[in-house]
Amino acid sequence: VTGASAYLKKRESWPTICTTFFSKSVLVGIIICLSAVLWLAMFLAERIARILGHTGQQVLTRIMGLILLALAIEFIVVGITQAFHLTR
């Protein structure tokens, strides 16, 4: 959801019709696709866990942790930048 919100914010410089219709349509499409993928992952979670095994689950957990860390750092940098009116 945060990524989709950032997508719309970056598109504010587009013409009005694109921002109001096209960008929002893309956003809804992305949310629907991601919801379907997440539902499928939850539905097949037991099978996926068997395929990955213990080591695979640990590796995947660490990779997801790194992705979460990167997002957190980005949010912190953007927050500090906006709070102190700094430019990148």
Work out how many domains the chain is built from and give that number: 2
Whether residues 1 and 31 fall in one domain: yes
- Which residue range forms the structural domain that includes residue 29? 1-43
The C-alpha atoms of residue 14 and residue 39 are separated, in whole angstroms, by 33
pTM: 0.61
Whether residues 34 and 14 fall in one domain: yes
Residue position matching structure tokens 């942790």: 65
pLDDT, tens digit (0-9, with 9 covering 90-100), for 29-48:
888 999 999 999 999 999 99
Between residues 18 and 26, the one the model is more confident about:
26
Q: Is the pLDDT of residue 84 over 60?
A: yes
Whether residues 6 and 29 fall in one domain: yes
Whether residues 64 and 39 fall in one domain: no
Whether residues 2 and 39 fall in one domain: yes
Q: Is the pLDDT of residue 2 over 70?
A: no
Whether residues 14 and 39 fall in one domain: yes
The C-alpha atoms of residue 72 and residue 80 are separated, in whole angstroms, by 12
Between residues 77 and 16, the one the model is more confident about:
77
Q: Is the pLDDT of residue 55 over 70?
A: yes
Which pLDDT does position 85 carry in this prediction? 87
